[in-house]
Structure 1
Amino acid sequence: MRTRQELIRAAAEAFALRSYHQATIADISEAAGVSPGGLHFHFTNKAAIAEAVEDEAAQLLRATCRDARSGAHTSLQALIDASHAIAALLSGNIVARAGLLLGQEPTRSSKLSLHQEWAECIHLLVRRAVEEGQLSSDVSPRDLYTAVLAATVGLEALGRGDGRWLTPQTLASFWRLLLPRICPPHRAVHLNPTGTAAR
């Protein structure tokens, strides 16, 4: 099991650094300290190991969203917390980062879309925020969903070349700008744009 995890991590590093198309089985096996034959014991080919990287990345993203939902006092706070947690995940976890990139590789087909997974998390939390009466009456849930998805995916794309785009400070600035527009003052005062983990 340890060898399999080492191979997944080595593959994630190779895919993130060189792209799926450029990374080779030899690159991955060498980085993991495993022979190509040892790699093939666990994975039939490069496509299979890429699928394993994506699967693990999806599990990490789902767990991050689930933890944010269970730890926050409102769905709007959960959305803020999830955005911070996913930014931290992408900054610090090579498997999560590579899994996101693999879903956008033009040279391969993917059964997963981590962007779609995140979009569904946003949609769920915005819908629940509406049900909880968290939003101002003139705020369109669809517009809020679009704004949060576009901003966070944009920050992730910018963060690939400059990690400052995925810092807690950048996300907190986004939420400080957005919160006064989307929820009444008596509700906004109870929300933490830096995420509840920062308290």
Structure 2
Amino acid sequence: MPQAPIGSKDTLGDIYYKTYTEEACGDTTHQPVWGLKQKDRFVEFGACRDWYLGSFPLGEFNRQRARTHEGLYRAYIIGEANTRAANHQIVREWRTMVRERADWEKYRERLLKQVQDFEQMKSAFAEDKAAFEAEKKSEEWGCEGLKNKLHAAEELLSNEHAEWKKVCEKDNQRMYVARSKITDLEAQIATLKGKVEKVEADKGR
């Protein structure tokens, strides 16, 4: 499509669109030539018109410029009808989306509460488990202590029994020796008594 001639009253935006060629600038980033200021709002005709004039890339501008008046009219009717229909559906679904969002927020709060409760239960379980392990270890140590005491008592009893046996053996030996001595003394006494009786008998004659 031939380029439109540049007029004396053309703005920088007009020149930007009129001098575009796909061969020379097709891969260049679209940079709208706007007169918009940061304080502008879309309540003023000039700001809205300026935004519209510079919004679309040059390739799309040329595509639309190549349409016939009938083609542009049909595109406008179809586009406007679709835009209005989409807006209508958005309005109809807006409350549903808001309610779904509210329900999702409530679900999210419940989920966070469940996670918090789970973390608290997990922490309490860890504390109970640690206390149980400590108590179990204490019981094991107590049981081990009792076993050690029992073993020591059994060992002491065994040693005492061995000592008692040794004492008994020594006492038996002592009693045997004493009994032998007593028997010898009794024999000696009997002999001496017999001699005394014999002497007395001889004196009586």
Q: State the TM-score bracket (shorter-chain normalisation).
A: under 0.3
> TM-score scaled by structure 1?
0.16
> TM-score scaled by structure 2?
0.16
Q: Which has the higher contact order (CA 8 A, sep 6+)?
A: 1
Structure label with greater radius of gyration = 2
The structure that is helix-richer by fraction is 2
